[in-house]
């Protein structure tokens, strides 16, 4: 599989001179298998950039897009109204996410209802399908096998294990499970994964309990316990500058090597492409 990061920031977009290298768009990751089948992880503002790239480049049309949402907080869904393939009536967009107290399609539509946005969700020209996944779901989504696990966050949220081409990728953003006092489901989900993309919003010094996020150190600990081959630090704090992320990357790699020699640690940045 190939992975490209279109948005790596958490909470709110952070454009400006201090975030040029790692980017200011919120959560969005593109996944491709060897057949070039498209799977998208989260729909933050980075989804707009992905949509523009799809429209501007020589990609086969109509588009067929599977989109997995970790949860419905704003920084993970704001890109949907600005995803240009969603305005192509010949294309298809299949959105899946965690079960909610109300129908997910209804909740996604609230942010696009008048007076908040000029186009309702149900008026998008794309062939749209919205479905929910439960904890423990194990589904074939296009070319990908996807397993879901509920994670500890202030809103219903899922982490996903994605398998294709004999490789495994785990996407676990917005998880406070290392501090929940219960068994961490991400460790089992990421067992021997080739790549673990893990929430790393906080340092130990600025960790905020109950906010639903992990620290860099706890992300390393999860990766070590799971036996993941590569850890990608993700969902950066909006106040974290490029220079601070440079320092975090160097320190995290050194700490990981002390605990699991050979494990690679990468700090996610916009435009970064990785092979799984």
pLDDT tens for each residue of 259-276: 888 899 999 999 999 999
Kindly report, residue by residue over 106-128, the tens digit of the pLDDT: 999 998 999 999 999 999 999 99
Kindly report, residue by residue over 154-165, the tens digit of the pLDDT: 999 999 999 999
In percent, how much of the chain has pLDDT > 70? 100
- Averaged pLDDT of the chain: 96
Whichever domain contains 45, its CATH number is 3.60.15.10
Which burial class, exposed, middle or buried, applies to 262 when counting CB atoms under 10 A from its CB (0-12, 13-18, 19+)?
exposed
pLDDT of residue 158: 98
Look up residue 184 and give its two tokens: 């961490």
Predicted confidence (pLDDT) at residue 253 exceeds the cutoff of 80: yes
What's the maximum distance between 2 C-alpha atoms anywhere in the chain? 54
Q: How confident is the model at residue 57 (pLDDT cuts 50, 70, 90)?
A: confident
pTM check: above 0.85:
yes
pLDDT of residue 58: 77
pLDDT of residue 77: 97
Full residue range of the structural domain in which residue 8 is found: 2-275
pLDDT of residue 238: 97
Nearest CA to 244 out of 39, 2, 14 is that of 14
Kindly report, residue by residue over 199-245, the tens digit of the pLDDT: 999 999 999 999 999 999 999 999 999 999 999 999 999 999 999 99
Q: What is the DSSP code string of 7-33?
A: E-B-SS---SGGGTTT-SPBSEEEEE-
> How many structural domains does the chain have?
1
Contacts of residue 235, defined as CB under 8 A and 6 or more positions apart, other chains included, come to 8, 9, 10, 27, 173, 174, 199, 200, 201, 213
The mean per-residue pLDDT over the stretch 167-195 comes to 98
């Amino acid at each position: 599989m190939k992975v490209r990061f279109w948005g790596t920031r958490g909470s709110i977009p952070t454009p400006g001179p201090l975030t040029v290298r790692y980017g200011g768009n919120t959560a969005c990751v593109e996944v491709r298998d060897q057949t070039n089948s498209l799977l998208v992880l989260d729909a933050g503002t980075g989804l707009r950039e992905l949509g523009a790239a799809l429209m501007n480049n020589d990609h086969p049309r109509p588009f067929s897009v599977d989109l997995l949402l970790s949860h419905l907080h704003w920084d993970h869904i704001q890109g949907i109204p600005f995803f240009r393939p969603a305005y192509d009536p010949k294309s298809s967009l299949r959105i899946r996410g965690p079960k909610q107290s109300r129908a997910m399609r209804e909740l996604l539509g609230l942010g696009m209802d008048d007076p908040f946005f000029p186009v309702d969700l149900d008026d998008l020209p794309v062939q749209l399908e919205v479905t929910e996944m439960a904890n423990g779901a194990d589904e074939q989504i296009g070319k990908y096998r996807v397993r879901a696990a509920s994670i500890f966050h202030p809103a219903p949220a899922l982490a996903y294990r994605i398998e294709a081409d004999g490789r495994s990728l785990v996407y676990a953003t917005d998880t406070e499970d290392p501090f929940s006092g219960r068994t961490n489901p991400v460790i089992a989900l990421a067992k021997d994964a080739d790549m673990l993309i893990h929430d790393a919003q906080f340092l130990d010094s600025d960790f905020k309990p109950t906010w639903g996020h992990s620290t860099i150190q706890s992300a390393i600990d999860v990766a070590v316990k799971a036996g993941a081959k590569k850890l990608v630090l993700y969902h950066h704090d909006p106040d974290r500058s490029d220079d601070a992320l440079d320092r975090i990357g160097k320190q995290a790699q050194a700490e990981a090597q002390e605990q699991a020699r050979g494990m690679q640690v990468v700090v996610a940045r916009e435009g970064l492409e990785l092979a799984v």
